[in-house]
């Protein structure tokens, strides 16, 4: 079903200013919420709770298509339409004319819990190659599963995926329905970054520190399989590993500097923005700015340890990040180079500004309206989001006026 309604929304940062000036109860300052780990302190100024951006802007939303069942990932095709995944295992072409039938020929997915069909990506040469890459939770038998990545060619009539090959399988598989990752990002050298989760359970999450496994890692692979050239050599490590010590990476994008940036889910507090460097250890589950869901410390309750990297930024309380893009376009002139991140629990589009490589400000848009699962920037500069629900939607966001 196509919905052409256009409804104005205001970012929470604006609502805060309005409330202060008009004395109304519209929204609240997200920095005023108490942390889940009040005894923890940031490693440096500005590592958390950056100043709320004072911006007077109204956004207009245009629902391109709804009726998507728990959509997870999207990528824009050269003609302006979108490839979109739905967790139950469907991939569709989405445009202002509606939803295409589900594309046939995809491998079986395990859609229990957080599993299913996940991210999707194409390269600039799609019009010539018709090649698509996607990630998914792959069933491995006896209740086990793991993140996998496949590639295939979309038929000219867009009904079938042909020449399908599985190019990556996370090892080991685990009997868990949680923490699959996973985002797909091509770098400027043509290699494919794949982010994974550590499967959440107490036993497998320790493997985020074990470089002989793929759990809780950023991986960098050849688009047709195998490790990419130029990966770091980690003693005893898998050759696909780029960085390790991650929890559940569901947001990733290349920044204006050409480097990969990621955002991962923390536990109760401790969502992290990182710029993963080759071969580095990002600490989970040894260090974290979060707590267990019970409120007890994670491990020894450490936030710093020698040999482990600090996040560029963290959130406590969490936003539950998913999807990320750096803005480049003409519609939002003041947003160039800013990070746009989806918030699930935060139910918001989160915008971060930067100065000298660190976060200098934060704003939240659409606060409380929907779980934002993915974020991208359209060819014309509009911001595009996917909302995560049984009636999810692909929505364009534009400045009002």
The residues annotated with a catalytic role in the active site are: 179
Count the residues in the chain: 401
If one counts every other C-beta atom within 10 angstroms of the C-beta of residue 314, the result is 27
Nearest-angstrom CA–CA distance, 118 and 181: 9
DSSP lists the bridge partners of residue 284 as none
The answer to whether the beta carbons of residues 60 and 7 sit under 8 Å apart is: yes
Angstrom CA distances, 252 to 119, 186, 326, stand at 11, 10, 10
Nearest-angstrom CA–CA distance, 47 and 39: 15
The answer to whether the beta carbons of residues 280 and 213 sit under 8 Å apart is: no
């Amino acid at each position: 079903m196509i919905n052409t309604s256009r409804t104005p929304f205001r970012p929470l940062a604006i609502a805060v200013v309005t409330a202060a000036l008009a004395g109304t109860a519209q929204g609240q300052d997200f920095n005023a919420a108490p942390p889940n780990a009040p005894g923890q302190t940031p490693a440096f100024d500005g590592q958390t709770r950056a100043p709320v951006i004072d911006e007077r802007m109204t956004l207009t939303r245009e629902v391109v298509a709804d009726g998507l069942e728990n959509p997870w990932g999207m990528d824009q095709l050269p003609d302006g339409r979108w490839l979109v995944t739905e967790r139950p295992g469907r991939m569709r072409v989405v445009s202002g004319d509606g939803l295409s039938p589900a594309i046939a020929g995809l491998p079986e997915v395990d859609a229990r819990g957080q599993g299913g069909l996940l991210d999707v990506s194409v390269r600039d040469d799609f019009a010539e190659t018709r090649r698509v890459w996607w990630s998914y939770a792959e069933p491995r038998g006896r209740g086990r599963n793991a993140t996998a990545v496949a590639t295939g060619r979309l038929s000219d009539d867009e009904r079938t995926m042909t020449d399908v090959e599985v190019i990556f399988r996370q090892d080991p598989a685990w009997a868990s329905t949680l923490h699959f990752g996973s985002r797909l990002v091509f770098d400027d050298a043509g290699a494919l970054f794949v982010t994974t989760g550590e499967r959440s359970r107490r036993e497998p999450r320790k493997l985020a520190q074990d470089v002989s496994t793929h759990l809780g890692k950023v991986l960098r692979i050849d688009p047709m399989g195998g490790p990419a050239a130029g990966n770091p050599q980690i003693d005893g490590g898998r050759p696909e590993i780029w960085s390790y010590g991650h929890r559940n990476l569901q947001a990733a994008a290349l920044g204006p500097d050409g480097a990969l940036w990621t955002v991962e889910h923390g536990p109760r507090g401790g969502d992290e923005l990182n710029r993963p460097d080759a071969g580095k250890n990002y600490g989970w589950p040894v260090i974290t700015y979060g707590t267990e869901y019970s409120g007890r410390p994670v491990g020894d309750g450490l936030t710093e340890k020698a040999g482990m990297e600090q996040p560029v930024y963290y959130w406590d309380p969490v936003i539950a990040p998913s999807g990320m893009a750096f803005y480049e376009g003409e519609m939002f002139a003041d947003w160039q180079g800013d990070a746009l991140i989806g918030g699930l629990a935060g139910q918001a589009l989160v915008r971060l500004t930067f100065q000298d490589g660190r976060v200098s400000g934060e704003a939240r848009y659409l606060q409380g309206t929907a779980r934002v699962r993915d974020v991208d920037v359209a060819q014309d500069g509009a911001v595009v989001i996917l909302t995560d629900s049984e009636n999810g939607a692909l929505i364009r966001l534009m400045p009002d006026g």
